[in-house]
Amino acid sequence: MAFLTCWACVLVGCLSASLKRASDFSDLYPPLWKESPGQLSDYPVENGTYIINPWVFSEKMGVYKILLNKTATYFAKFAPGNEQNLLWGLPLQHGWQYTSGRLAYPSQRTDCGYESDHLCVSVDSWWADLNYFLSVIPFLAAVDSGVLGISSDQIRFLPPPKDQTRFCYDVSGCHSSFSEIMNKWIDFYQYMKLPTSNFDDLLKYLWDAHTISLKTSVKSFEDRTPFCWVALLAKCINLQVHFL
């Protein structure tokens, strides 16, 4: 528990540093942001369903890009240019995981995540596994909340090469495997859609959703120890010092 609490505070630190960074320098986007898909029609379609491969970094960044785009309208009352969109913290954090090599196969026994295959997101990376619960699930919850303007069965994510049962791939699958996480994210989007929503309460809803995603995934991937969480802490402290 102490471990988790520590994690949570590290992540809050990262999130707030990232948010601050995003609002201070509005042109500072996550890596490969411009090259990543910006609309659903950029993804392949099978039988009327968009197919997204979250084990490819740019395809996953595209998920965030679409989410940021589709939620922009609800944050417009707080600041122009989508600057105060609370979801910016997620792609910024994921971008940092990518540039710092944390999404690669940990022991370099495969090319996944290394130079020759640098967009590969390894299912053996603890960071990538945790991030799944902070990207794919929030996205599917947004779809289910009507934020994307498509029906719930129109999106499917591709499974990793192994450990398929540890993830979920579409709205109905995520509801049955991770109902608590889905519901918290849906609560966030439902509140976001209210004309009366305010920033502080939005932050609370986001925090609840973020925490449950982390708690569940940290527990579920206990067997895959992070190779260096101390480095994250150091990095975060650095970021904080630099940006605050």
Ligand X SMILES: *[C@@H]1O[C@H](CO)[C@@H](O)[C@H](O)[C@H]1NC(C)=O
Closer residue to ligand X, CB minimum distance, 118 or 193: 193
Which of 47, 107, 165, 196 binds ligand X (CB under 6 A)? It is: 47
Nearer to ligand X, 17 or 192 (CB): 192
- Contact between 82 and ligand X (CB under 6 A)? yes
Contacts of 50 (CB under 8 A, 6+ apart): 40, 43, 44, 150, 154, 155, 156
- The interface region with ligand X, picked from 38-46, 172-180, 184-192, 214-222 by CB under 6 A, is 38-46
Q: Is 151 in the site for ligand X (CB under 6 A)?
A: no
Q: For residues 69 and 110, which CB has a smaller minimum distance to ligand X in the complex?
A: 69
**Out of 39, 108, 164, 172, which residue is the one contacting ligand X (CB under 6 A)?**
39
CB of 38 to ligand X, least distance (A): 5
Q: How far is the CB of 44 from ligand X (least distance, A)?
A: 11
Residue 49 or 110: the one with the smaller Cβ distance to ligand X is 49
Q: Does 69 bind ligand X (CB under 6 A)?
A: yes
72 binds ligand X (CB under 6 A): yes
> What is the secondary structure of the chain as a DSSP string?
-HHHHHHHHHHHHHHHHHHHHHHH-TT-PPTTTTTS--SGGGS-EETTEEEE-TTBHHHHHHHHHHHHHHHHHHHTTT-GGGTT-GGGHHHHHHHHHHHTTTTS-TTSSS-BTSTTBTTBPPTT-HHHHHHHTTTHHHHHHHHHTTSSSS-GGGEEEPPPSS-GGGS--SHHHHHHHSHHHHHHHHHHHHHHHSTT--HHHHHHHHHHHHHHHHHHHHHHTTTS--S-HHHHHHHHHHHHHHH-
Return the range that interacts with ligand X (CB under 6 A); candidates 21-29, 39-47, 186-194, 218-226: 39-47
CB of 119 to ligand X, least distance (A): 22
Contact flag: residue 38 with ligand X (CB under 6 A) = yes
Count other C-beta atoms under 10 Å from residue 67's C-beta: 21
CB of 69 to ligand X, least distance (A): 4
Contact set with ligand X (CB under 6 A): 38-39, 46-47, 69, 72, 82
